[in-house]
Amino acid sequence: MRYVTVFLIGALFGLGIVLSGMGNPAKVLNFFDLAGTFDPSLIFVMAGALSVAIPGYALIFRRRQKPIFGETFVLPKARQIDGRLVGGSAVFGIGWGIAGFCPGAAIPALGLGHGGAFIFVASLLTGIVIARAIIRADFFGATPKTAGQQKI
């Protein structure tokens, strides 16, 4: 049942991405082009998503002691801004600005046949493998992967 639920939630998310036009990298890149073909529709998509997500999370954490498919809620414990957070955010933003895809929109874009989405997803997966190898090697003084989380 868990996988069916995850599939349905993912399908709903993908449908929202496609219907909002965010699977089209040109639409996203136009959002970043303030001096040219600026398209503010991404702001409205994000505002719509937040207007549903924020009250939804508030209701879940107030009414449920544990998740439906898990033992405990897992939330970030770290509250400080560090190099990993800034670096990861920068890589995410640069990749989004160059490609016009974020990971959430790239997966539905695969189904739409965008050639750039295939390149983006392959690069994303390669980056994940490299990042995990760096963390495992403790190259940057990384902490164990659960150290930045707390169970509630």
Residue scoring higher pLDDT (76 or 147): 76
Burial 141-152 (b: 16+ CB within 10 A, else e): eeeeeeeeeeee
pLDDT band of 38, cuts 50, 70, 90: very high
pLDDT band of 28, cuts 50, 70, 90: confident
Sign, CA dihedral 63-11-49-88, equals positive
145 pLDDT above the threshold of 60: no
147 pLDDT above the threshold of 60: no
pLDDT at 132: 87
Cα–Cα distance list, 114 to 30, 91, 125 (Å): 17, 22, 17
| pLDDT tens profile 40-96 | 998 998 899 899 999 988 888 888 888 888 888 887 787 888 888 898 899 888 888
pLDDT at 50: 94
pTM over 0.85: no
15 pLDDT above the threshold of 60: yes
pLDDT at 68: 80
CB of 32 within 8 A of CB of 97? yes
